[in-house]
Amino acid sequence: MTQTKLEDTPRIERLIVMAERLIAALESDIAELKNGHTAALRTNDPEIQTLSALYGREALGFDPRLAQSAPPSLRQRFIAITAKFREVLQLHARMIARVKNASEGLVRAIASEVERMHAPTRTYGPRLDVTPKSSGAMVFNKVV
């Protein structure tokens, strides 16, 4: 059983290091999203995406019994970093959803305004038999 502990320690430490790097990237993204800067998100970096995929594969094949057989200090670090990673990941997902909802709402509002501007004015007179056609445009540029 001592041999098993020695084999599991590097794997647990690798997961901890990867989680710490991912947490740093996610916290950086959260700060950028709070400031309204969506262009400089670190999670769009190919290195972070590769790290994320590697972490996912490593975590998928991880048996929780390995953490139970690890030394207590390593096990505590692993549990703490895993909890923090989940917390930061959930906050990041909420921030991304807010930005997505806001941008989609903006596009819908612009499209609705374009439709309203192109709609014929309604009068109290008799109704026209012709229904107005949709512009089909999502964005309308008044310059053109």
pLDDT by 10s per residue, the chain, length 144: 444 444 578 888 999 999 999 999 999 999 998 888 888 888 888 999 999 999 999 888 888 888 888 888 988 999 999 999 999 999 999 998 988 888 888 888 898 888 888 877 766 666 666 565 666 655 555 554
Query: Hey, what are 52's tokens?
Result: 């994320």
How many Å apart are CA 119 and CA 105, to the nearest integer?
A: 21
What is residue 60's predicted lDDT score, i.e. its pLDDT?
87
What is the SS3 assignment for 43? helix
Q: Which of 29, 26, 13, 33 is nearest to 99 (CA)?
A: 33
How many Å apart are CA 51 and CA 44, to the nearest integer?
A: 11
